[in-house]
Amino acid sequence: MIELREASVVVPAPEGDAMILHPTSLVLAERRISIIGGNGSGKSTLARLCNGLIEPTTGSVLVAAGADPVPGVRAERSRLDTARDGAAVRRLVGFVFTDASAQLIMPTVAEDLMLSLRRLHPKRAERRAAAEAALARFGLEHLAERSVHTLSGGQKQLLAIATVLATDPAVLVADEPTTLLDLRNARSVGELLMSLPQQVILVTHDLDLAARAERTLVVADGRVVFDGEPDAAVSHYRELVRA
């Protein structure tokens, strides 16, 4: 579970401070939550607040620590603050970017996945075995020794998701993960996200995919302007677009 308490994001601009996200209070507990809105609406900022990639200018963002102890965090602390406990939060809340290339930094597919497992598996042999298991889970085992630069867009996005999920986060935040993909790969990634055991918070322009969530937030002009049942949220968004 993630809770925003009057969390806002303000950034400096030539004409003065710009409010990217107005003070927002939300409790995000549903297993599938989608976030929709136009470009520049603030929806990606809201997503980045959820795992501490962006810290709130005012207010706070809290993440449930879960049943298992988090390294570096006192066992009695039930919730983590993204500003204070950023590293611990990011171990619990994984993040997938729109452009998978931003997450793939090692030469080969296997090496990239192994990099994400270095904390869980300090021994190289164990790390390699865990990486191979993760690749097999996503049907990528045959690409283990391929350069990440030779992968298709869909393969890159699957690998990016695999590298995040290999560390077994409690929550996965995905920021427009299908935007750069063709229809076939977009559907494949969408199906994968909807099948995961983790809580998934999905920012998307794909309204059909958004409607498969349990709850949908509509963001406009740096505010959550609708929060509720997905079909009603999509209808609200369509009305905003037509206005």
Q: What is the pLDDT along the chain (243 residues), one digit of tens a residue?
A: 999 999 999 999 888 889 999 999 999 999 999 999 999 999 999 999 999 999 999 999 999 986 555 555 554 468 999 999 999 999 999 999 999 888 898 999 999 999 989 888 999 999 999 999 999 988 899 999 999 999 998 899 999 999 999 989 999 999 999 988 999 899 999 999 999 999 999 999 999 999 999 999 999 999 999 999 999 999 999 999 887
Kindly list the strands in the beta sheet with 2-11, ordered across the sheet, starting from the edge strand earlier in the chain: 18-28, 2-11, 58-64, 79-81
Q: Containing H/E element for 90?
A: helix 86-92
With 0-12 / 13-18 / 19 or more C-beta atoms within 10 angstroms meaning exposed / middle / buried, residue 43 is buried
Domain boundaries of the chain, sorted by first residue: 2-242
Name the residue among 54, 51, 56 with its Cα closest to residue 92.
51
Q: Which residues contact 160 (CB under 8 A, 6 or more apart)?
A: 96, 97, 100, 103, 104, 177
Class level of CATH domain 2-242:
alpha beta
Structure-token match 């079909």, residue found: 231
Q: What is the pTM of this model?
A: 0.90
DSSP β-ladder status, 79-81 and 223-228? unpaired
CA distance linking residue 99 with residue 175, whole number of Å: 9
